[in-house]
Structure 1
Amino acid sequence: MEKTTFHYQPMCSAPHCDAAAVYKVAAPWSNGKSRELKNYGLACEAHRDSQLALAQLHRQGLKLAEGETIGPVGLYELAAGKRDAELARLPDH
């Protein structure tokens, strides 16, 4: 049986936007044992700033469980075949 690679194009999370996502809007999260990026959405180039601002508002209201930590929300450049831990964070602007 031939192994095939799964491919899909993530789309921007902004309402009524049909553009391909270029960025993951996320914050580094840990519970002390594991780490990952907490996903706040995906953004195309046109909506990156508005999606980032919305995610930052949602982050302010997040209540953490004991032992959890979360870093600042930022933009991570999506790259085909790369996992969250391999995504490059864009500099804050």
Structure 2
Amino acid sequence: MKQDHHLHPSQCPTDWKTAYVTPVPKTCSPQFLTDYRPIAITPISSLLWEGFIFRWTYSHLAPLMDQQQFGNIKSSPTTHCLVNLLDSV
């Protein structure tokens, strides 16, 4: 079966959806499944495209965002929210 390595709109290549999950213990002697943290290793190609898509969408959406938005925004940690609040008070 021939693999199609071309990008198509609204489609993610199947190879990019694969992740290798490694259980990493949270405690010294894990006894339950909840004592493990799953760490997923994804393909480099999908990580590169994720970064590209983030930068592209962020550059288009950033001017539309509220200036009072803090957290989950590049160069705008939640501590800026606290500083802004203290400044207002």
Give the structure, 1 or 2, with the largest relative contact order (CA under 8 Å, sep 6 or more). 1
**Could you say whether these structures have the same fold, taking a TM-score greater than 0.5 normalized by the shorter chain as the test?**
no
Bin the TM-score by the shorter chain: 0.3 to 0.5
TM-score, normalised to structure 1, is 0.32
Higher helix share: 2
- What TM-score do the two structures reach when normalised by structure 2? 0.33
